[in-house]
Structure 1
């Protein structure tokens, strides 16, 4: 016959075992920075539609000014991406691995800059060209932000504060087979905020090499600042 003390100890042991089994079945929620690292490492290429809203501060007490554009976006790590703006005006931005091209269709004007000198501390580095979070941290201070709208947010601040970029927020969500890019918010040093929302995101599609090649159209003005 068991003693009362033995019965109490047995109940405590069973209770502790139950909590241990419960703890073993609980998976810690990844931090936003861990989600970003999973996105970078697990997404070698991507394609999505986007809507971009740019809000500029009002002048002399007037209301902020807002402009909206839309198009499609594609990238292939480690050094190539493309934005095709369709509305309201056509623009093409292509990084081919060597040169960053910007083509204004209406003006028939092309601006070309060396890519290596341009992208390291830009939003494109976070989304399309970085190889890991560790590589990003050479140029950005990264912080975990609170979960908002069902998204995990990473706040990135440039280490070189004298540039035109103030901060970037990246919104991510766990999708089928990996992490999806959902939103990108960019705040510049002049208080202008640009928000991109991505939809129909495709992870690791096969993209043709020609997508990231650009040749200035005939008679286009080519500027190389």
Structure 2
């Protein structure tokens, strides 16, 4: 979850993306005005040992709306209506509420629900084609970013199937998507949060 709050972010080298790579990514992202999927997230340490597995559901709607709902092993919800960000921890009976930071490096989930101009401003980028798959590797331009690189992997039908996030100490998070749908049927209410009775509210600026 921490990568979704940085972002549902010392470079070891510098990569200049050609304009065509940004344009190519924009083609993929433009098909994702709305997206819903289930996910399995595995986090590994620098030696490859599994640290944690999470399962849940994801919904995105451009611009800047997302709902990242972890269901296993514990319930946690990250949701934004484009202006406000809520993080709800059911076990703690606590919700943190704050204005949404629309910098993609602060909230990588926004990368999927934002726009290509933001991507070009905040990331160096290169594209790879592996068999029938298209991969985009994004490297933050900010030296104080809290992850080294983010890889978006699309299958032969141009559906996002996997995201890989690697941080400065080698920890890697792999998010695999399933049941991906682009149907325009997501309710605006999915990106709002009503505080349950008895839950503590922490407001952060």
Superposition TM-score tier, normalisation by shorter sequence = 0.7 to 0.9
Alignment match of 2:142 (pick from 150, 153, 160): 160
Whole-angstrom distance in 1 between the partners of 2:22 and 2:153: 11
From the superposition, tell whether residues 140 and 200 of structure 1 become closer, same or farther in structure 2 (CA, over 3 Å). Answer: same
- Describe the superposition over 1:102-148 as per-residue Cα deviations: whole angstroms up to 9, x where unpaired: 11111111122211x254223212222x222x431101111123516
Q: Is residue 169 from structure 1 mapped to residue 151 from structure 2 by the alignment?
A: yes
Correspondence for 1:137: 120
Correspondence for 2:203: 224
- Describe the superposition over 1:10-47 as per-residue Cα deviations: whole angstroms up to 9, x where unpaired: xxxxxxxxxxxxxxxxxxxxx87554221211221010
Structure 1 or 2: more helix by fraction: 1
Correspondence for 2:27: 38
Whole-angstrom distance in 1 between the partners of 2:180 and 2:98: 28
Alignment RMSD: 2.0
Correspondence for 1:104: 89
Task: For structure 2, list consecutive stretches of 5 or more residues without a partner in the other structure.
Answer: 1-19
- Describe the superposition over 1:41-83 as per-residue Cα deviations: whole angstroms up to 9, x where unpaired: 122101011100011236xxxx734211111101110010101
* Structure with bigger RCO (C-alpha 8 Å, 6+ apart): 2
Task: For structure 1, list consecutive stretches of 5 or more residues without a partner in the other structure.
Answer: 1-30
| TM-score of the aligned structures, taking structure 1 as reference length | 0.74
Whole-angstrom distance in 2 between the partners of 1:205 and 1:85: 22
